[in-house]
Amino acid sequence: MPHVHRFADFVHELQQLEKASLATQGPSILDAFARHTRFDSGALYLRDTRGSGLRLAAKSLTCVAPEILDPNVRAEDAVLPSPAVVVALQSHRESVGVLALSTQAIDDSMEDDVAFVRTAAAFLSTLLTNQRLMQETREGDFQLKYRLWELESLYDIGLSIASTLNVDELADEILFRMISLTNARRAALYLREDGGFKLYRSFGDVREGFLEAELTEQLIREGKPLTFDGAAACLFPSCETFVAVPIRTGNNDQVIGVLAAADRETREGGIGAFEENELRLLSLFGNQVAIALENARLHRDALEKQVMERELELAATIQRDILPKAIPQIDGVEIAALSRPARQVGGDYHAFFVREGVITALVADVAGKSMPAALLVSALHAVLQLLFAEGREIGEIATELNRHIHNWSAENKFVTMVMVSIDREHETLQYVNAGHNPAYLISGGNIDTIKSHGLPIGILSGTRYVTQTRAFPAGSAVVLYSDGITEAEDMDGNEFDNPRLEALLQQNIDCGAAVIRDQIAQAVDAFVDEAPQKDDETLVIVRRA
């Protein structure tokens, strides 16, 4: 076959090898040289893509050749049997390999074959260089895209700040992204709890519990990622490499958690140390995570507050609905009432009952606030409606009420209550004061108090309340109130107190019930000024014409 045809066939075969990876093409190249030339044995060295040395890519069975070609040793001396021709595979940039070929059929026409080999080797050099450049371009493209992806991940975590407010979902996303970013095999997220950092989420084999105090202190002190190699006793059992990053909030520089990852994979299939650029990336990632976690925490707090406010609103509604919608209209009796619930619902209650011309007014104050207090007020209201409907006298009602409240309500729940019944026919005022503030009785130009004569309702199950009686002639008035009136505080924390209330009553001793109510309300408002209302304020005034 003419040389030119042989060479064309050979080049075509080499071109077909271009698609094969560098790692697998060595034997095919050597085989092509054996079939197209008279050199039937030898060795091929190609430059290692991971290093700078020449690594054995292929050798014939009869050939002895070292795995790595020492740069100080000639191929003629390193390969056995000693090759008849050695060609450096060289591009304009660098050496890409060495081809050492032998033959047993040495004769005078060898020169042509050597020239043939050298020409084919030159073509092979260009082919290998092109292949290497293509691979480098692809790897460069991959690395570029990978950096873009890293930046996108940081950006996405930033976006999660706005979209993921559930800490559990956020924790998963943080872990997944950290593992992807670092090529780690295992990872863990620790959050501050009980003065330490407790495992919150993990991926792979991770020890449960808290981070070691020593590591925690070091992370807080240094405030930057810490790496360890061969960390046998670390939180990832049997890990080879390990990194931990503090999650530090920007506003008060507090470490709120720790991100940790272990066993960074390398492209070669092994485990490598976490590199400097990965530590920088993790630091940035930690900052984004801090903001995301803080945001989720604030959102959770806001939700809890919202729930509490809804509860308060519901409690206020319950309380509002059971308070009298209208004041009873009875000839010869003027009644005025005031009910101002505090923002945080308390347990003030007032009610009116009219039975056979006898009007009963009561003011009660349930211990506690919010929903529990509102529910007790609701129970109090229901029991009172039933007991009054049964026609019992007020001492008996208080006794029975005490028994019910004590049995039904939770421990430490009690009610102070003052109850007055005005009988115009007999001109008497009957009352029961169960641990409540003293009420005021205005009669004949004098102000007298109606003090407590029994324990608050609900303290002891067997308590009996005995109805007390006073004279209540025409023109007399009775003033019932809750401690929200007398304990209303001004800006300096001073209480309105009973002497001020008594002085007001004295000043308005002959006034109607509505006037007395308004005077007290105005005086309390003026005293309190801009100070917030701390407790429910209830006022009931009944005056005989």
φ, ψ of residue 358 to 5 degrees: the values are: -95, 125
Helices 3-16, 22-36: axis angle to 10 degrees equals 160
Q: Measured between alpha carbons, how far is residue 376 from residues 313, 388, 454, 534 in Å?
A: 16, 18, 20, 20
Which residue number, 204 or 438, has a Cβ lying nearer to other proteins?
204
Which residue number, 158 or 391, has a Cβ lying nearer to other proteins?
158
Least distance CB 501 / other proteins (angstroms): 55
**Can you tell me the distance from the alpha carbon of 191 to that of 205, in angstroms, rounded to the nearest whole number?**
18
Which residue number, 63 or 188, has a Cβ lying nearer to other proteins?
188
Q: Measured between alpha carbons, how far is residue 442 from residues 216, 332, 474, 480, 509 in Å?
A: 71, 16, 11, 11, 7
What is the number of residues in the chain?
545
Which residue number, 39 or 200, has a Cβ lying nearer to other proteins?
200
Least distance CB 151 / other proteins (angstroms): 9
Least distance CB 201 / other proteins (angstroms): 5
- 415-423 and 428-434 as β-strands: parallel, antiparallel, unpaired? antiparallel
Contact residues for other proteins, defined by CB under 8 A? 19, 141-142, 145-146, 148-149, 152, 156, 171-173, 175-177, 179-180, 183-186, 198-206, 208, 265-267, 269
Which residue from 11, 59, 296, 290 is spatially nearest to 162, judged by alpha carbons?
Answer: 296
Least distance CB 131 / other proteins (angstroms): 14
Which residue from 176, 196, 195, 197 is spatially nearest to 187, judged by alpha carbons?
Answer: 176
**Can you tell me the distance from the alpha carbon of 348 to that of 319, in angstroms, rounded to the nearest whole number?**
9
Q: Measured between alpha carbons, how far is residue 304 from residues 297, 307, 314 in Å?
A: 11, 5, 15
Least distance CB 260 / other proteins (angstroms): 13
Token pair, residue 340, equals 């101002």
Cα dihedral 169, 175, 181, 183 sign: negative
Which residue number, 5 or 267, has a Cβ lying nearer to other proteins?
267
Which residue number, 167 or 327, has a Cβ lying nearer to other proteins?
167
Which residue number, 197 or 465, has a Cβ lying nearer to other proteins?
197
Token pair, residue 315, equals 């409690």
Least distance CB 228 / other proteins (angstroms): 20
Least distance CB 167 / other proteins (angstroms): 12
